[in-house]
Amino acid sequence: MSKSPGAQRVGVALIGAGMIAQTHVAALSAAQDRVRLISIISRHPEKAKYLAKYYAGPTPSFSADLASVVDNPEIHMVIVATPPSVRASLIEPLAMAGKHILLEKPVARTTGEAEDVVDICERAGVKLGMLFQHRVQESSQAAQRYVAGGELGRLGHVEIEAPLWRDQSYYDELGRGTYERDGGGVLMTQAIHTINLALSLAGPVARVQAMTATSPLHQMEAEDFAVAGLQFVCGAVGSLVASTASFPHGKEVIKLHFERGSLHLGRTSLDLVWRSGVRETVVVDKGDLGEAGPVVTTHGLHLGVIEDFVEAIQNNRAPLVSGRDALETHRLIEAIEMSSRTGRGMDVPV
């Protein structure tokens, strides 16, 4: 079992050396006053050693041996950044060894697998946090405050848009855009961030009517386009449109229309439009999300999620987005997929 880190620096291992690994290492480097990157686990550790140049502290060890993390009492938390298809073999031994887990989205390929991951961590008594980095964006936090404050009145209509682009070369990587490796296409891999953020503001969805498809612009197994009508538990209605076939690459937008005004949450800004016609720019973020394509080029938001997760460990509180919180997003995505396959409206399980 891991020793409790208390107020000391938290020992960290990173599992996975794919395209997002550089961002994680840079974020961990920026958080050196709170964390120590001890180990990086990769199927090809020699190829992963380039990551050391993004870390300003002592060079971490590189290995393909999961046991080197499981058996190391100085490692308190593990960032798991592997494809969803290989997580089942990782999560249980890590959790049973007392390692807190910060997981790249999605939790797993299916809702059933995701529920298993959450149950494993809860039974082991370790924290499971999710890297939904859009949730720490300043504009997103401001939107949360406005919604919680109640001055806008009752929510009536929600618009969720993720007009994104991925070149075919992105899907040419072995397994990408397949159900076997990723669990799906645009919904599970890209739009899941926007969906999770929208649900955190509008609350859960009760029922969906949807269509998903693979456009002629991509050769892939799963969907690169999805559209859904949404009925929220609170009584509001809404729509979701998501695509990786929208060129040029666009920006995600969430619009929340209330009785007395609307919130327009963009990638880097939040605007408030009152029914009187007065428009206020509530916040403009200093930096972009760094996601003009498949690679996240900035690490500031990942740093925010990591710092929150470290505080959750040290103060024994829930992380900003727990694995159990993320199940709501998984269930909605699964209901959208089922609605498309059956051509019928689908209730979203609680």
Look at strands 225-232 and 237-243 and give their pairing. antiparallel
Q: What percent of the chain has pLDDT over 90?
A: 91
Q: Mean of the pLDDT values across residues 295-320?
A: 93
Burial 268-298 (b: 16+ CB within 10 A, else e): bbbbbeeeeeeeeebbebeeebebeebebee
pLDDT surpassing 60 at residue 19? yes
For 41-56, write each residue's pLDDT tens digit. 999 999 999 999 999 9
Given this model, what pLDDT does residue 141 score? 95
pLDDT surpassing 60 at residue 326? yes
Q: How far apart are CA 347 and CA 343, in angstroms?
A: 13
Burial class (CB in 10 A: 0-12, 13-18, 19+), 91: buried
Cα Rg of the chain (Å, integer): 20
For 282-295, write each residue's pLDDT tens digit. 988 765 555 556 66
Q: How far apart are CA 208 and CA 158, in angstroms?
A: 13
Q: Mean of the pLDDT values across residues 314-322?
A: 98
Is residue 119 within 8 A of residue 222, CB to CB? The reply is: no
Given this model, what pLDDT does residue 267 score? 85
For 190-217, write each residue's pLDDT tens digit. 999 999 999 999 999 999 999 999 999 9
Q: What percent of the chain has pLDDT over 70?
A: 95
Using pLDDT thresholds of 50, 70 and 90, give the confidence band for residue 296: low
Superfamily of structural domain 135-287+328-347: Dihydrodipicolinate Reductase; domain 2 (3.30.360.10)
Is residue 290 within 8 A of residue 137, CB to CB? The reply is: no
Using pLDDT thresholds of 50, 70 and 90, give the confidence band for residue 252: very high
pLDDT surpassing 90 at residue 2? no
Using pLDDT thresholds of 50, 70 and 90, give the confidence band for residue 297: low
Q: How far apart are CA 275 and CA 294, in angstroms?
A: 38
DSSP three-state, residue 215: coil
Given this model, what pLDDT does residue 89 score? 85
Q: How far apart are CA 29 and CA 47, in angstroms?
A: 20
So where are the chain's domains?
10-133+302-322, 135-287+328-347
Q: Report the alpha-carbon angle 147-140-249, nearest 5.
A: 130
pLDDT surpassing 90 at residue 177? yes
Please, how many CA atoms are within 13 Å of residue 60, restricted to the half-sphere of its CB? 34
For 83-120, write each residue's pLDDT tens digit. 999 887 899 999 999 999 999 999 999 999 999 999 99
pLDDT surpassing 90 at residue 330? yes
- Please state, as a whole number, how many other Cβ atoms lie within 10 Å of the Cβ of residue 180: 12
pLDDT surpassing 70 at residue 266? yes
Largest CA distance in the chain: 62
Given this model, what pLDDT does residue 217 score? 98
Give the DSSP H/E element, type plus range, for residue 96.
Answer: helix 88-96
Given this model, what pLDDT does residue 295 score? 60
- Shared fold status for 10-133+302-322 and 135-287+328-347: no
Given this model, what pLDDT does residue 88 score? 79
Alpha carbon separation from 335 to 14, 130, 238, 349 (Å, rounded): 32, 21, 15, 8
Alpha carbon separation from 41 to 34, 65, 167, 304 (Å, rounded): 21, 7, 29, 23
Given this model, what pLDDT does residue 222 score? 98
Is residue 348 within 8 A of residue 203, CB to CB? The reply is: no
Window from 76-85, 115-124, 248-257, 281-290 with minimum mean pLDDT: 281-290
Q: Mean of the pLDDT values across residues 3-32?
A: 90
* Average pLDDT over all residues of the chain: 95
Given this model, what pLDDT does residue 4 score? 56
Query: Check: CATH 3.40.50.720 for 10-133+302-322?
Result: yes
Alpha carbon separation from 290 to 21, 114, 192 (Å, rounded): 14, 27, 17
On the question of a cis peptide bond just before residue 248, with omega within 30 degrees of 0, the verdict is: yes
